[in-house]
């Protein structure tokens, strides 16, 4: 997204398939901040990522004027503060420090990421029908809890933050592509309109938002990515 509001040298280091990278892109787009996207390699980490996050060596990394900012939840809050005057006012990170919002963001990452198929170690090992069935039950329980959280946080409005996409919307919404990929693999609904109708309606609104549509990964591509990643990790593990 192009914008004159961007500060010099705003770059995002990461991979298109990562929900954590998607969060950063959505936040910048909500602020109307132009950025350069630097694609991470499938297995081997690029030098810029290793130099920018030498301790954890994980994406995403936001580079703002050469200064690295790491960890997706930290980056979301940084973007809101650093670009407070960029573009129209948004409620993107208005309430991340209020207990309910921070709790549910951390709950989402603790409960949902292991089921959304994005843990590389689990992808490398694969999984049988029993593991997938157990994961499906776990995600159903987690999404049931998040539907109740949506009712309380939204106060009857369209998003967790109210009338527009906000902090918690970005955190949970970043997993939607992987939910859809899981549906393709298992043939079972993840966001079920019968079991979680409010969240299903919220997903449709979230994905239709102009800041989200272009960076929401396609489910078919994610399935292919998962297969390629498993093959690459297996090949890497077999090397002496």
Q: Note the Cα 36 to chain centre separation in Å.
A: 18
Work out the average pLDDT over 46-57: 62
Cis peptide, bond prior to residue 60, ω within 30 of zero: yes
* Residue range(s) occupied by CATH 3.40.30.10 in the chain: 10-82
Higher pLDDT, 4 or 152: 152
pTM: 0.83
Which of 3.40.50.620, 3.20.20.140, 1.20.1050.10, 3.40.50.300 would CATH assign to domain 99-227?
A: 1.20.1050.10
Shortest CA distance to 23 belongs to which of 105, 89, 120? 105
Whether the pLDDT of residue 44 is over 80: the answer is no
**pLDDT score recorded for residue 88:** 52
pLDDT at 4 over 50: no
- Pairing of the two strands 61-64 and 10-14: antiparallel
Class of the CATH-defined domain 10-82: alpha beta
Residue 56 pLDDT: 55
Mean pLDDT of the chain: 80
Position 119 scores a pLDDT of 43
What pLDDT score was predicted for residue 39?
87
**Percent of the chain whose predicted confidence (pLDDT) is above 90:** 35
| Residues 185, 131 contacting (CB under 8 angstroms) | no
- Res 216: pLDDT: 96
Whether 105 has a pLDDT exceeding 80, the answer reads yes
Q: What is the mean pLDDT of residues 169-196?
A: 89
Beta bridge mates, 13: 38, 61
pLDDT number for residue 177: 94
Q: CATH 1.20.1050.10 occupies which residues in the chain?
A: 99-227
User: How sure is the predictor about 125, in pLDDT bands with cuts at 50, 70 and 90?
Assistant: very low
pLDDT score of 206 more than 90: yes
The per-residue pLDDT for 22 is 96
pLDDT (tens digit, 9 = 90+) per residue, 130-142?
555 666 677 788 8
Most confident range, picked from 52-56, 190-194, 195-199: 195-199
């Amino acid at each position: 997204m192009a914008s004159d509001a961007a500060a010099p040298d705003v770059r995002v280091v990461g991979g298109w398939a990562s929900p954590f990278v998607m969060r950063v892109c959505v936040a910048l787009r909500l602020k109307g901040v132009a950025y350069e996207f630097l694609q991470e390699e499938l297995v081997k980490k690029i030098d810029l990522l290793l130099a920018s996050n030498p301790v954890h060596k994980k994406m995403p990394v936001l580079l703002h004027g050469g200064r690295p900012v790491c960890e997706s939840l930290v980056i979301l809050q940084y973007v809101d503060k650093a670009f407070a005057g960029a573009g129209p006012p948004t409620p993107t990170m208005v309430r991340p420090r209020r207990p309910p919002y921070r709790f549910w963001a951390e709950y989402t990452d603790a409960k949902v990421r292991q089921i959304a198929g994005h843990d590389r170690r689990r992808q490398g090992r694969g999984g049988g029908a029993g593991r997938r069935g157990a994961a499906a039950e776990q995600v159903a329980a987690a999404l049931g809890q998040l539907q109740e959280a949506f009712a309380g946080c939204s106060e009857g409005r369209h998003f967790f933050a109210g009338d527009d996409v906000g902090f918690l919307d970005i955190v949970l919404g970043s997993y939607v592509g992987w939910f859809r990929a899981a549906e393709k693999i298992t043939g079972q609904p993840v966001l079920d309109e019968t079991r979680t109708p409010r969240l299903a309606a919220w997903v449709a609104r979230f994905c239709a938002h102009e800041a989200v549509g272009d960076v929401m990964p396609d489910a078919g591509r994610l399935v292919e990515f998962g297969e390629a990643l498993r093959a690459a990790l297996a090949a890497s593990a077999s090397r002496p």
